[in-house]
Amino acid sequence: MSCPEEELIAVLKAGGVDLLATLPCDRIRNLIALADESFFRIPLTREEDGVGICAGAALAGRRPAMIVQSSGIGNMLNSLLSLTGFYELPLALFVSQRGIYKEGIAAQVPMGKVLPQLFDAVGIGYTSLEHPDALPSVGEELERLYREKRIHAFLLSPALWEDSTLEISHSLGRCRCEAVDVERNRKNPDPVLTRYGVLETLRPELEGNVVICNLGVPSKELYQLLPQASNFYMLGSMGMTTSIGLGVALSTPKQVFVLDGDGSLLMNPGTLATVAMARSGNLTIVAVDNASYGSTGNQPTLTAGCVDLELVARGFGIRNTVKAASREELHRAVQMPHDGPLFVHALTLPGNAAVPNIPLGPLEIKEQFQEFLRS
């Protein structure tokens, strides 16, 4: 029997780790699920936020650690150097190193390949873990980094979990945020569609228009339903969907639809303030909110309990906002006349459609999209 996830959790507990900040990754979904049973865990919306939380915890005498994906290291590098390292605070980084072993997502390769050189360049020590036999060494390094008050990264190869016998059922059940829209005196409608159902419903409105689609399964589902040259399918860079859409909308008279997600918007909510300021009337943002990170194992996002994205958008200054859950509500929502950007909060059920990968490379996606914009 092999269960490297349980072994690593035991090493962390023995090493005195008492606060864990995490963002999900499909390769380590079981590890994070186990961590919930053993640690005080903070689910993050952005990696850099975790650096600040862990710095505060270290200042107060705790032994913090983070579990993140390699693609997120770029989001936290400045804070690691100017905060954690600058003040000589200890931090253990457990990094799911994508792009190096049996990787199916090409956008994961660039950061995954250069990660060791990047840590070398900025003076952060690291340990590569490719086999469960290497896990006992983690405890010794943990003790050193907390004693010496420094940062150390443990690079977790997907090969580490390859023979694991651990099976954890990841439920698709959810509780919905009960935030109340005081001005409109109503609660959120109950979701009835999955994301695929939302895209299927909106196909007539999306057809022939510019569509910027969130990364992972959403882009795959869109390609399955409406493969058109005017779609820009994101393959990486989580959190940038609405930012890209705004940049396009400010640069073309065409109608621009952004299909964003709750996890993505929570990672970069400040972009909604920029959208409100820019007041681009040809921009419609459809925030598909299934309260879960659907592409990494359906871990819950904070919209499952405490965040209402429509209220967030209005708080940032977007005047035209609406909630929708049914097919009729969705059609009415995207057809609303609006002076300035429109924000549609689409409440959906969790779950992914069984669709194949997009048979297009990044340059093909870019070139056909640019050709459509020029037409």
Q: Give me the chain's average pLDDT, please.
A: 89
Q: Does the global pTM surpass 0.85?
A: no
Query: In terms of Cα–Cα distance, which of 175, 166, 142, 218 is closest to 27?
Result: 166
| pLDDT at residue 170 in the model | 54
Contact 131, 188 (CB under 8 A): no
Average pLDDT (95-100) is 92
Query: In terms of Cα–Cα distance, which of 80, 27, 85, 25 is closest to 49?
Result: 80
- Largest Cα–Cα separation, the chain: 62
In the chain, what percentage of residues exceed pLDDT 90? 63
Q: State yes or no: pLDDT of 174 exceeds 50.
A: no
By residue count, the chain amounts to: 375
Whether 4-161 shares its CATH topology with 180-374 is answered yes
Name the residue type at position 340.
G
| pLDDT at residue 35 in the model | 87
Q: State yes or no: pLDDT of 117 exceeds 80.
A: yes
Q: Where in the chain are the domains?
A: 4-161, 180-374
Q: State yes or no: pLDDT of 177 exceeds 80.
A: no
Superfamily of domain 180-374: Thiamin diphosphate (ThDP)-binding fold, Pyr/PP domains (3.40.50.970)
Q: What angle do CA 295, 297, 302 make, to 5 degrees?
A: 85
| pLDDT at residue 66 in the model | 94
Strand order in the sheet with 231-233: 231-233, 210-213, 256-261, 283-289, 342-347, 320-324
Q: State yes or no: pLDDT of 181 exceeds 90.
A: no
Strand order in the sheet with 151-156: 41-43, 19-22, 64-69, 91-96, 151-156, 125-129
Q: State yes or no: pLDDT of 171 exceeds 90.
A: no
| pLDDT at residue 199 in the model | 97
Average pLDDT (43-58) is 88
Rounded-to-integer distance, Cα 5 and Cα 42, Å: 19
Contact 313, 154 (CB under 8 A): no
Q: How many CA atoms lie within 13 A of 349 on its CB side?
A: 14
| pLDDT at residue 334 in the model | 96
Per CATH, which fold does 4-161 belong to? Rossmann fold (3.40.50)
| pLDDT at residue 254 in the model | 95
